[in-house]
Amino acid sequence: MFKEHSERGIGYFNERFAYIPDELIVDIFISIQDHSNDIVQVLIKSMIDLPDLFSFFGKALKNVNTQVSSQGSGDNERTSINLNLMTLMVETLCLIANKLLNSEPQQTELFFLEYGVHEFVTVMADNMFKLNEMAIILYSFVQGTNNSHLRVLNKIADKLGM
């Protein structure tokens, strides 16, 4: 996904999100979950690609309707059940976040605070119905310490101009 010319695939997805069938979106995010180890390995080698991941998920989360559920194309049993698209996207990003934190906790947290918070705070500010899901994401990329959570809150305050 993020190897060569990732901007083409991501750009295509972001530009045409409204026109992509819900079944295909389910298939895409199930596939991302299935390949999460590969994605994490690429990100560990070059954390500079992490902002692209944040941008991709930020735009996807901004465009998705919180009430829409769908099945995938039915290629496997995971895509044959009805899934809420928003929940699927959040679960996918949290899965990647947990794997990144287990491998590179400090770099993951630093890159998230610098590049990721803005993407997800923007989604929160634009749509009040997505607050709970965005709060889950905001704390998925940082360690479970009080200091890490305080750094997230400080970054949110900075981004909101408080």
Range of the domain at 153: 6-160
Q: Does a structural domain hold residue 73?
A: yes
Q: Does a structural domain hold residue 156?
A: yes
Q: What is the CA radius of gyration of the chain?
A: 15
Strand segments, DSSP code E, in 19-156 are: 69-70, 83-84
Mean per-residue pLDDT of the chain: 85
Amino acid 108: pLDDT: 92
Q: Does a structural domain hold residue 1?
A: no
pTM of the model: 0.85
Q: Does a structural domain hold residue 154?
A: yes
Q: Does a structural domain hold residue 136?
A: yes
Q: Does a structural domain hold residue 149?
A: yes
What total number of domains does the chain contain? 1
Amino acid 117: pLDDT: 92
Q: Does a structural domain hold residue 17?
A: yes
Amino acid 2: pLDDT: 46
Over 90: is that where the pLDDT of 3 sits?
Answer: no
Q: What is the tens place of the pLDDT at every residue in 44-85? A: 998 888 988 898 899 889 988 888 888 877 767 777 788 899
